[in-house]
With several copies, the nearest count.
Chain A
Amino acid sequence: MIQALNSALDSAMERDPKVLVYGEDVGYFGGVFRVTAGLQKKYGKTRCFDAPIAEGGIIGTAIGMGVYGLRPVVEIQFADYIYPGFDQLVSEAARLRYRSAGGFTAPITVRTPCGGGIFGGQTHSQSPEGIFTHVCGLTTVMPSNPQDAKGLLLACIEDDDPVIFLEPKRIYNGPFDGHHDRPLTPWSKHALGEVDEGYYTVPLGKANRVRAGDQVTVLCYGTMVHVCLAAAEEQKIDAEIIDLRSLLPIDLDAIVESVKKTGRCVVVHEATKTCGYGAELVALVQEHCFYHLEAPIERVTGWDTPYPHAYEWDYFPGPKRVGVALKKVMES
């Protein structure tokens, strides 16, 4: 997925001189996860460069560049470190078009790795999507595979409003399904690991049905897509699994259509449960599918605690937990 993201940035920069890339360690070094590797060499020091360790400054200057007319793509080294830039995102980027009645806009893309499973402890494992999806004016996207990652990132860079692009770092190298005790299949051996050459976009707001089924609808995104696929296979449950891809805008039609068909729903994410994005999914499903629901909607999420280093695999919502939830909704 790293190569896919790198290829997306490469295509965007090749195509549009207004696209530039910066962030902590992204320039000469190419990023701690190597997503920007080679871009400075190819496009020069002023198009892909390092930044001071100041997330609020990175996002604040990016907004100013967007106002000027550029399309900055900035990296926040870990999603856990995006909070110093929260004010610039929420009070400025998200509201600028509105408060200026369209006179000024901030077409910026903020890339940041999220999620756990790498023994990063509580400050290298967070999934903060839920605090961004509560902020009107922000678009929030999380890919689950290289093919989507490239197309979605290009769509985000094209987008004329600010976007939070969350990269589940646990699937940078392969479709991790939660079985941490088994070897990881590399993306090269995965259908969606093959990334199209050149420029293409995957539209924002279109979910992807990654598995068709009739008995229960599973709503998920990012790493959890692979966990849910594994759980469905292992439990041999006829589950329809929907990879949301973009959390806002949300593909409500795809969700409603599926749940009306299956009558059951499980919502899965890695972020903490209370007031997480899953709560909104549950609320929407019960608002739109109330009379079709045959069982309570189940949430499978990270626990309401920080991400504990030593107990990572007891925290991570793996296929076993998802499987239990699937059986529960099937039986009730």
Chain B
Amino acid sequence: MNKKSLQLHIPEPKCRPGDKVDFSDLKIPPAGKVSRPEINVGAGEIRDHAYDLIRVLDDKGKAVGPWNPKLDPDFLRSGLRHMMLTREFDERMVKQQRVGKTSFYIKSTGEEAIAVASAMAMHKDDMCFPSYRQQGLLIARGCPLVRLMNQIFSNKMDPVKGRQLPIMYSEPDYGFFSISGNLATQLPQAVGWAMASAYSGDKRIAAGYVGDGASAEADFHYALTFATVYQAPVVIHISNNQWAISTFQGMAGGEHATFAARAIGYGLPGLRVDGNDFLACYAASKWASDRARNNHGATVIEHFTYRAAAHSTSDDPSAYRPADEWKNWPLGDPIERLKQHLIVIGEWDDKRHEKLQKELEAHVVEQLKEASSYGTLGNPPPDDPGSMFEDVLKEMPGRLIAQREEMLKLRAMKDE
């Protein structure tokens, strides 16, 4: 019936190293254009939202349209502060890795608005199930940087006792779930936590975070299925930062649909948001949180953004994408845009900005000093190897007690 034979399609990003950056085929609608439905709207009534882009800040930095959350300037300034602190923290910690004070680090540069705004849109006791790129959640929730640094340095004050790869934080007191090295596993757990909250007649909701690449994992499907079936009070945030490691979002199915559109097939609302627009991220997260908290079920939010930095300190993006993509990203820099907005509304200026920047740098330095005083990776070598056998189970079983003994005896023997 057809003459031609079949061909296998392999998605390719538009630009590779050496190519001239070209984002011309990104359709960026003007700010203020997208309608804002009631929080109890039927998912089927807002399917188009999954293909649109919720934007509040226009090119001049004015907040426009129905999604404008009309936040008070102090609140905006603290949002700015959290984002700036997150970025400064990232810069510092990468330097620590460079000089060998830790083995690994992951920055969130360019994506600070997503974690910070969503954290500020939730209650402090709502539970977050993050991926490894939401350090902004902890910063917005006031977790002392020194705790994060202690984990990164695996030093004697490390909250997880030197067991985890750097940045795999676990902060129960800040409603921040233990980060898993295995992608997307946190999503069904977030849904289960939300189901438990609903089962218990609680008022707390959950939020899960995942990347564009990891949305291809099974747990993404499980999470959305259980979320819709049980109408779990959970918000699923997809950070579409265009890249996994070396593969672009088209390799995760982004060539023919948005990630927000995934929600449609499950009968869930899917919102697509300008991820570099603090106000839009806040407004969407707030809408979804209110929806969940009022028993109207789960929402999927795609935050459309760009991963400005390398995937991690183990990665060199110049091998697979043009170095200047980020500079040309049409949605700009979330910090610059919120700063500009505050200036436009007369609540901020460059002097105050620089002053704040200096203050944050000093704060990070001071926290770093304290953390370093507890040690950095291998320096001094951690001195409680026996603790390696704890927490495998609540009570240490016989065979682990025996293994611990053997290990300590071995350690005591001087090498010949």
The interface of chain A, by Cβ under 8 A from chain B, is 20, 24-25, 27-29, 32, 45-47, 49-57, 60-70, 72, 80-81, 83-84, 87-88, 91-92, 96-105, 119-124, 136-137, 139, 160-161, 205, 234, 248-250, 252, 273-274, 303-306, 308-311, 314-315, 320-321, 324
Contacts and interface: CB of A to CB of B under 8 A. Distances in A.
Given A24-B245, A52-B229, A52-B251, A60 B188 contact: yes
Contacts of A52: 213, 216, 225-226, 229, 251-253
Contacts of B199: 20, 46-47, 65, 70
A100 B163 CA distance: 8
Interface string B398-416: 1110010001001101011
B385 interface: yes
Interface string B168-185: 101110000110111101
Given A67-B192, A303-B403, A303-B407, 16 more contacts: A53-B247, A56-B219, A57-B216, A57-B219, A60-B192, A61-B226, A65-B192, A68-B192, A68-B197, A72-B192, A87-B219, A91-B185, A101-B160, A103-B160, A309-B103, A324-B413
Contact of B216 (A54, A101, A304): A54
Contact of A96 (B127, B178, B247, B378): B178
B19 to A, nearest CB: 12
Contact of B188 (A64, A66, A303, A308): A64
Contact of A100 (B170, B183, B320, B389): B170
A181 B393 CA distance: 32
A100 B377 contact: no
Interface string B153-164: 010001111111
A88 B188 contact: yes
B264 interface: no
Contact of A122 (B163, B177, B377): B163
Nearest to B7: A46
Contact of B226 (A57, A304, A314): A57
Instruction: Identify the interface centre among B244, B246, B389, B411: most chain A CB within 10 Å of its CB.
Output: B246
A66 B195 CA distance: 11
Interface in B188-212: 188-197, 199-200, 206
Contact of B388 (A45, A91, A161, A311): A311
Given A84-B218, A100-B178, A310-B154, A57 B188 contact: yes
Interface stretch (B8-16, B23-31, B325-333): B8-16
Given A64-B190, A310-B377, A321-B410, A99 B160 contact: yes
B301 interface: no
Interface in B215-244: 216-219, 221-223, 225-226, 229, 244
13 contacts: A46-B10, A52-B252, A54-B225, A56-B219, A60-B187, A87-B218, A98-B163, A103-B171, A104-B172, A123-B182, A161-B393, A311-B163, A320-B410
Nearest to B317: A29
A232 to B, nearest CB: 14
Nearest to B12: A45
Contacts of B165: 119-124, 309
Contact of B200 (A66, A68, A101): A68
A92 B188 CA distance: 11
A198 to B, nearest CB: 25
B155 to A, nearest CB: 8
B168 A121 contact: yes
Interface of B: 7-8, 10, 12, 16, 103-104, 127, 129, 154, 158-166, 168, 170-172, 177-178, 180-183, 185, 187-197, 199-200, 206, 213-214, 216-219, 221-223, 225-226, 229, 244-247, 251-253, 314, 319-320, 377-378, 382, 385, 387-394, 397-400, 403, 407, 410-411, 413, 415-416
Contact of A310 (B158, B172, B182, B397): B158
A91 B178 contact: no
Instruction: Identify the interface centre among B165, B194, B382: most chain A CB within 10 Å of its CB.
Output: B165
Instruction: Identify the interface centre among A122, A137, A315: most chain B CB within 10 Å of its CB.
Output: A122
Instruction: Identify the interface centre among A62, A83, A234: most chain B CB within 10 Å of its CB.
Output: A62
Nearest to B178: A100
B164 A309 contact: yes
Contacts of B127: 67-68
A98 B217 CA distance: 24
Given A49-B10, A57-B225, A160-B394, A99 B178 contact: yes
Given A56-B219, A305-B389, A61 B162 contact: no
B222 A56 contact: yes
Contact of B222 (A25, A54, A121, A161): A54
Contacts of B390: 102
A24 B394 contact: no
A25 B311 CA distance: 12
B189 A137 contact: no
A201 to B, nearest CB: 15
Given A61-B191, A64-B194, A67-B189, A249 B162 contact: no
